[in-house]
Structure 1
């Protein structure tokens, strides 16, 4: 028993106890067995023990036998009722033979009295538990940063000058290549010239007759070999107060220049590095190379516990720069003031973090439809292929004529969605309503959204049918009873179908009703709160539930990416930690509550 009880020491809330407090509970706890169908806590009964599950399953039901919750290994229940000395609102029933610890009510209350953090844990919100999860991830990520090594992907191209070249010609060369420093090739090794050296030249050129670049170089240049630990490089650059560092291969050939700002970017989130590379790109291959660094940035931010919605916002901004650059390089200049590039679906909502699929379209102005549209759009999609965006299985891409046509054709679609609605048309309507323009004549997109709002105003009953899609997938509030049982996804939940879709689409339907132009789900929730439809409490719960789902999905997808597996929306409910599982439970309850709000608001019970 001692060994078993020691195992829970590493799980919240027991990690909050002192040794004396933990020993007190351990000495009073007992291991108990219960067969199937045992009612541990009856409705309107106050528990006499705190239960800690070792093995088995306990399910919670209300008076109508509706499934409310589920507990298994390392889960705790009964604490709130004991602390508040109130009878349970639900019935706790063993549905898989149970072995558990029972901690007597008196011992539990003694610890709650002496340890306020321990007591508070039982009442902590999703927001507070997410902060605990963030702290855990920040601690775990430190070792990864300490062992990261330098590779060529973060280097800038070196501008190498012969030692006898004049200073003026060297400066011209530096400007032509867009370099931030010069490497001077001497008979023995390299020197380096930076802005500080050029300032020295301006002030001293006449007095000291400075003409050749070798006269103002810092020699020998401090350098490192490729593969060196990044942390060691940071120490070196800090020690010598340098911002530019030549990187050499084993034969002392120059591989490139490492800039301090990029090194610091790596230790923060790499966003600066990617953005600079994107903006400096003169060729498509440079855009592709910069965009491919996104996954590294995402992994670093996730490891540090940064909220997934902030990661998504940063990724979205970088992707917008990428799309603007691709639009400028691939789309003919004669089209630029006659069409707009729009992103749809998860990209339009700025919620796509890892590249799961392409969702894009072109809208041309009235009467304009170029003959070579097919070949141009094909090239655009091929570049996205090269970057790593999988093609959309539903063909929501500009190579599909459905998503590449003049504005009047899109208006015909919107009219058709209202007059002859079907489930498929509602999905097209949802995809389009989530769209955002990124390049070209942006007013074309504004005109289409205005037209959509106008048609919905004329046909308000369409919203009831549009919102009904939230009932498409069963909510996995039965939680672990909603496991996928096929061999490929045993004990996993499709978080997109089981939770995200209902939350996102419910918010989308309300946003359409309230003519909210924001496409991001979090911003839509805030707007619904500002309009008075959602209370501050409900809005906060929804945003944090969305955070839980996207964080768990991102964690799973990063693991799949590392293993070279196909990225999907499945989350293992048995492999995640207890804290994550608790968060998932609470988030699913929030979605179920929200579905009831949407159903009541749009009268979905009477929709045929």
Structure 2
């Protein structure tokens, strides 16, 4: 029983309770078993206990229509007990059930004494997502505690002789972009850091400082190259040092760990990746640092960082990555005569996990490089090696449709506006959600301005443009039941087609109407609020719905990457807890209300 109670403590809302409350539960709660088809609570009678499922499945149904289902670690009956009423549905066992039963008196008394516990049962969408983060917050700590030194966290350090002239050593340090000097002595190593260099600058004349040996710190504190990272952090903290030299098994210098890199590793590795990307001088360096991004994403997600903050970090790192690849792969003669742009989710700064490539090139008028196919093929191959899947729709610089002159883009825009069809309008949507990351960015600005002016002078096109919002149905059916119509993905829902597309495209169409230049959906929602299209409460609800949808998608994508299966946009509903399912339903309802608002606003019901 004690072991079972420990499981209870790790799940909201029980995680809010103190030891006194758990002692009360331990004394009064019972473990019960029910076979299949048992009616636990009927819609005609108030429950007498709160149920917490240890094992098995329970369905809530109304007239044989399933409304919801509950499995391990879910609880039910709480709202009915707090409101002293019968439930709206029947609760029936569909898979042999083992559960806790917490008596009504105990449950009510604990709820009255603990506001957070009681409030959980009536929490809103914004509050529930905070609860969801709390549930996942510290699950990475065990991995961090046993992590050892990684090659990517080691800096080489500049080695110099103890008899070298200090000025000469500083020139070496500058050439190699090092933050410290490792000094070779007859017996062991010394180190020179910024503190030693300050001493040299202030006292070089009065102390006649000339040789490296005169300003080094000797002997130095070291650690083994295979030491635990946590032990290294403890040693650096204990001695108040920012640089710790590492020695291999033979006692030979093997590199330096810097405090900034170490702290970055323990937080999210973003600083380390960014520095590595900045310092990369070849494609191998770019690829190595870019491959660390998924690890950073998982660390941030597990700690409960909002997906919109993760995506900002990932977008900044990816922009640096694209700039580096552009500099290293694309000939110098192209740099002032072309612009590399990112499209789709990358253009909106909304891609977290690497789902597909979406990129294009705009050439200055009259510039037609003969080696375009060869260069773009190499560019895409680098992205392949990093782990970006190729776009199935061909929205890549390999495709001549997305690698053409400024005038060719303008001609395509004109054609789409004069003769709108689904494919052409989707191309406009892709182009509208774009950002320039390298080359002559003025070319991109001209294309975006031309597109927005074309829309402004042909306002009726917006209705046709917005109509794509009706392309996909919501996965939420009657009685708020999840509906999965894809035979290859039974029990799963496509979060992108079923919800994200409607929200993203609706905001995109409205952004075109209101002349909003921002590409990011969250920023567009804020601008629509500023423009008076939606009120602040609705804007907040939509932003939180977007956060929920992206969080669930990211969680599922991380799980699939662990299993080395295709990363897609499907999430398995049956694996979600009751809290998560309720949260997802609220988000889907918010998107559906927004979809109806857009349909009404653009009069889509009368579009032919």
- TM-score bracket, shorter-length normalisation: 0.7 to 0.9
- Residue 367 of structure 1: CA displacement? 3.0
Does residue 476 (structure 1) correspond to residue 471 (structure 2)? The answer is no
Cα distance change of structure 1 residues 152 and 605 upon mapping to structure 2, 3 Å threshold: same
1:69–1:585 contact (8 Å) kept in structure 2? no
Counterparts of residues 540-551 of structure 1 (less than 5 Å): 540-551=540-551
Taking the aligned partners of 1:606 and 1:135, their CA distance within structure 2 comes to 46
**Could you give the per-residue CA deviations for residues 315-369 of structure 1, whole angstroms, max 9, x where no partner exists?**
1011112222333333333333322211101111111112222111111223333
* Correspondent of 2:22 among 9, 19, 24: 19
SS in 2 for 1:571: strand
Residue correspondence of structure 1 range 385-396 to structure 2 within 5 A: 385-396=384-395
2:309 equivalent to 1:313: no
Q: Which residue of 1 aligns with 2:70?
A: 72
Shift of 1:69: 4.9
SS at match of 1:247: strand
The residue that corresponds to 2:445 in the other structure is 446
Aligned equivalents of 2:274 and 2:193: distance in 1? 23
Aligned equivalents of 2:6, 2:371: Cα separation in 1: 70
Residue deviations 1:54-99, cap 9 Å, x none?
53322469xxx9x9952323655665576567898xx636688587
Matched, 1:553 2:553: yes
Rounded Cα–Cα distance in structure 1 between residues aligned with 2:104 and 2:401: 65
1:362 aligns with 2:361: yes
Give the equivalent residue in structure 1 for 2:129: 130
Question: SS at the partner of 2:526?
Answer: helix
SS of structure 2 residue aligned to 1:191 = strand
In structure 2, the gaps of 5 or more residues are none
The equivalent residue for 1:340 is 339
Aligned match of 1:372? 371
CA contact (8 A) 1:152 1:256 kept: no
Residues 1:193 and 2:192 are matched in the alignment: yes
C-alpha change, 1:166 and 1:94, in structure 2 (3 Å) is: same
**TM-score normalised by structure 1 residue count:** 0.88
- Verify the 8 A CA contact 2:11 2:135 in the aligned structure 1: no
Pick aligned residue for 1:56 from 36, 55, 58: 58
CA distance in 2, matches of 1:203, 1:101: 72
1:144-543 to structure 2, matched below 5 A, reads: 144-478=143-477, 481-483=482-484, 486=487, 489-543=489-543
1:603 aligned partner: 603
Range with greater deviation from structure 2 (215-224 or 536-545): 215-224
Q: CA deviation at 1:135?
A: 2.1
Structure-2 change in CA distance of 1:282 and 1:14 (3 Å): closer
CA distance in 1, matches of 2:375, 2:363: 14
In structure 1, how many angstroms separate the alpha carbons of the residues matched to 2:224 and 2:9?
Answer: 45
Partner Cα distance (1:359, 1:540) in 2: 29
Mapped to 2, the partners of 1:358 and 1:411 lie a distance apart of 23
The unaligned stretches of length 5 or more in structure 1 are none
The correspondence of residues 564-575 of structure 1 with structure 2, limited to 5 A, is 564-575=564-575
Aligned with 1:214: secondary structure? helix
Q: CA deviation at 1:247?
A: 1.9
| Corresponding position of 1:140 | 139
Instruction: Go from structure 1 to structure 2 and tell me whether the alpha carbon gap of 1:598 and 1:415 turns closer, same or farther (over 3 Å shift).
Output: same
Q: Higher mean Cα deviation, 489-498 or 199-208?
A: 199-208
What is the DSSP-based 3-state SS (H/G/I as helix, E as strand, rest coil) of the residue aligned with 1:595? helix
Contact 1:308–1:551, Cα closer than 8 Å, also in 2: yes
Give the drift of 1:306.
0.7
Aligned 8 A contact 2:190 2:220 in 1: yes
Q: Which moved more, 1:579-588 or 1:258-267?
A: 579-588
Preserved CA contact (<8 Å) 1:495 1:570 = yes
- Select between 282-291 and 226-235 the one with higher mean Cα deviation: 282-291
- Larger mean CA deviation between 536-545 and 378-387 belongs to 378-387
Partner SS, residue 575 of structure 2: coil
Name whichever of 179-188 and 517-526 sits farther off.
Answer: 179-188
Cα–Cα, structure 1 residues 502 and 81, in superposed 2: closer, same or farther, change >3 Å? Answer: farther
- Inter-partner Cα distance in structure 1 for 2:153 and 2:159: 18
Q: CA deviation at 1:299?
A: 1.8
| Counterpart Cα distance in 2 of 1:323 and 1:104 | 60
Deviations along 1:14-53, whole A, 9 cap, x unmatched?
44452366469847x99888969999448xxx96667748
1:251-307 superposed Cα distances (whole Å, 9 cap, x missing partner): 233332211111111122222212222222232322222222212221221121111
User: Against the structure 1 CA distance between its residues 70 and 161, is the aligned structure 2 distance closer, same or farther, given a 3 Å change threshold?
Assistant: same
- TM-score, normalised relative to structure 2: 0.88
CA distance in 2 between counterparts of 1:246 and 1:429 reads 55
User: Could you say what secondary structure the match of 2:234 adopts?
Assistant: helix
* Offset at residue 393 of structure 1 (A): 1.8
Query: What is the CA–CA distance in structure 1 between the aligned matches of 2:201 and 2:254, rounded to whole Å?
Result: 30
CA 1:365 to 1:498, structure 2 compared with 1: closer, same or farther past 3 Å?
Answer: same
- TM superposition shift of 1:517: 1.0
C-alpha distance in structure 2 between counterparts of 1:593 and 1:59, whole Å: 25
* CA RMSD between the two structures: 3.3
The DSSP-based 3-state class of the residue aligned with 2:596 is helix
What is the alpha-carbon distance in structure 2 between the residues aligned to residue 288 and residue 514 of structure 1? 40
- 274-283 vs 305-314, greater mean Cα deviation: 274-283
CA distance in 1, matches of 2:391, 2:219: 53
What's the counterpart of residue 115 of structure 1? 114
SS at match of 1:140: coil
